[in-house]
Amino acid sequence: MRVIIALFLSAFLLASCASSRVAFKKDYNFAKINSIKIGQFSPASGYPNSSSVVVNEFIRQLLAMGYTVKTDPSDKADVELFGSVTQFNPNRKYLMQASNTTNTTGQNIVINNTQPMEINGSQVYTLGTSLGPDANLSIIATNANCGIAAYLKDLSTGDVVWSTTYSYESLDLAAAAENTVRYILSDLPPEKNK
């Protein structure tokens, strides 16, 4: 009995961790979409070029999927893609200096000689010590992350037919943006994916 309860709880927790953040209009025929117009994407705060990076990645991946992609506001298309960049944090590296000393009780103490800095990204790790005469210099790195919220609007009806959001963390910003867009486009209903 305990094993069954443990399996049930494990399955519940795994299912809740993998929940989809996508919604789509149930009766919409996604197979009829051949052309997608790229609409307005708002940039992440503090990164005005983030929307351009994300839009270019959507264009590249939509073309690779076989869609006709339009960017001119006067162009006709089946649907229009809108969105916002919710996270856009580049990977960063910091040089930190620390000195080892021993206190009166013989304990080894590490003293950080630098000012505290904000560290973007959610994963922080050390790359080891720096080269050179000062062995007390360490290189600390953070991962990049990119988050996007997007939706499709049918241009003949004005209805929003699909909406999703996703964020991804990677070693560099280009990979984070690429994988965020890839995951978002994989959320399109199966009959839509060509």
Q: Are 143 and 165 in contact (CB under 8 A)?
A: no
CA distance 45 to 88: 8
DSSP state at residue 154: E
Map out the domains of the chain as residue ranges: 22-90+144-186, 95-142
Query: In this predicted structure, what is the pLDDT of residue 70?
Result: 97
Nearest 5°: the CA angle 157, 28, 147 is: 90
- Percent of the chain exceeding pLDDT 70 equals 63
Q: What is the C-alpha separation between 94 and 140, in angstroms, rounded?
A: 5
Query: 81, 43 in Cβ contact below 8 A?
Result: no
Q: Which of 96, 126, 90, 102 is nearest to 114 (CA)?
A: 96
- For residue 146, CA distances in Å to 42, 85, 109 come to 13, 8, 37
- Order across the sheet with 92-102: list the strands: 108-112, 92-102, 137-142, 124-129
Inter-residue contact 145 to 169 (CB < 8 Å): yes
CA 136 to chain centre: 34
Q: What was the pLDDT predicted at 90?
A: 86
Contacts of 98 (CB under 8 A, 6+ apart): 110, 111, 112, 113, 136, 138
Residue-level pLDDT, tens digit, the chain, 194 residues: 454 444 444 444 443 333 458 899 999 999 999 999 999 999 999 999 999 999 999 999 999 999 999 999 999 999 999 999 999 988 877 666 655 555 556 555 455 555 545 555 556 655 555 555 555 666 677 788 999 999 999 999 999 999 999 999 988 899 999 999 999 999 887 654 44
Strands 108-112 and 92-102: antiparallel
The helix or strand, by DSSP H or E, that contains position 142, with its residue range, turns out to be: strand 137-142
CATH of domain 22-90+144-186: 3.40.50.10610
Q: Determine the length of the chain.
A: 194
Can you say how many angstroms the Cα of residue 92 is from the centroid of all Cα atoms in its chain? 16
pTM (predicted TM-score):
0.72
